[in-house]
Amino acid sequence: MLKVGLTGGIGAGKSEVSRLLVEHGAVLIDADRIAREVVAPGTPGLAAVVEAFGPGVLTADGSLDRPKLGSIVFADPGKLAALNAIVHPMVGARSRELEQAAAADAVVIHDVPLLTENALAPLYDLVIVVDASPETQLDRLVRLRGMTEEDARARMAAQANRERRREIADIVIDNDVPLDALHQRVTEVWEDLIRRARTRSAEPGPE
């Protein structure tokens, strides 16, 4: 099995790259999706969040009010740490379950938006960074996601900068290119990942 960390700045196009890798045959483990699942209505995760932050973080239908919770934790590092202490172990446990269910020669892509910021690169056999210029990121966030320029710049500033992401990359996928060029680059990367996965699965395990 080859464990790959996939990351990139907001608006860089990481979701498109992960979608293309899945089309090629990768097993995708999406940290953001799992983080939502572990605090879905009726889960122990949601119960723990309500116990820590009070019933005011719930919507009328009993689901998590993410904007409300976000306004609480991002204004207080201690509360953010408390939330992470609840959610991160659950996300980690679920990610390991999904990983263990994959085939021995699988390429498992862990889509982790804050991989750089949380110094998670050592958890993976290699790291892929989807890279785009800040100008491209800003344009996509404003034009495609409907953000204001101020909000987009604030979201970008809250993440690691381009240089820090590139420093941890084993493979960089340039997404300042037309879509057909991106498809070609992802195909090349996939062929490399398959070779690496086959090599690893052929290696003898520990005695």
Q: Give pLDDT tens digits for 117-136.
A: 889 999 999 999 999 999 99
- CA 196 vs. chain centroid, Å, equals 22
Q: Tell me: domain 1-26+106-201, CATH 3.10.110.10, correct?
A: no
Furthest CA-CA distance within the chain: 57
Output the average pLDDT for the chain: 92
Handedness of CA 153, 142, 114, 67 (dihedral sign): positive
Q: What is the mean pLDDT of residues 42-59?
A: 95
Q: What is the mean pLDDT of residues 16-26?
A: 96
Q: Is it true that 1-26+106-201 and 35-103 share their CATH fold?
A: yes
Q: Could you give the C-alpha distances from 56 to 59, 66, 67, 87, in angstroms and in order?
A: 8, 11, 12, 18
User: Could you tell me which CATH number the domain at 35-103 has?
Assistant: 3.40.50.300
What pLDDT does 204 receive? 66
Q: Where are the domains of the chain?
A: 1-26+106-201, 35-103
Q: What is the mean pLDDT of residues 101-129?
A: 93
Burial of 204 (0-12, 13-18, 19+ CB in 10 A): exposed
Q: What is the mean pLDDT of residues 182-198?
A: 96
Q: Could you give the C-alpha distances from 4 to 33, 66, 169, in angstroms and in order?
A: 17, 29, 11
Share of residues in the chain with pLDDT > 70 (%): 98
Tokens coding 124:
């993976």
Tell me: pLDDT of 49 over 60. Answer: yes
What pLDDT does 54 receive? 94
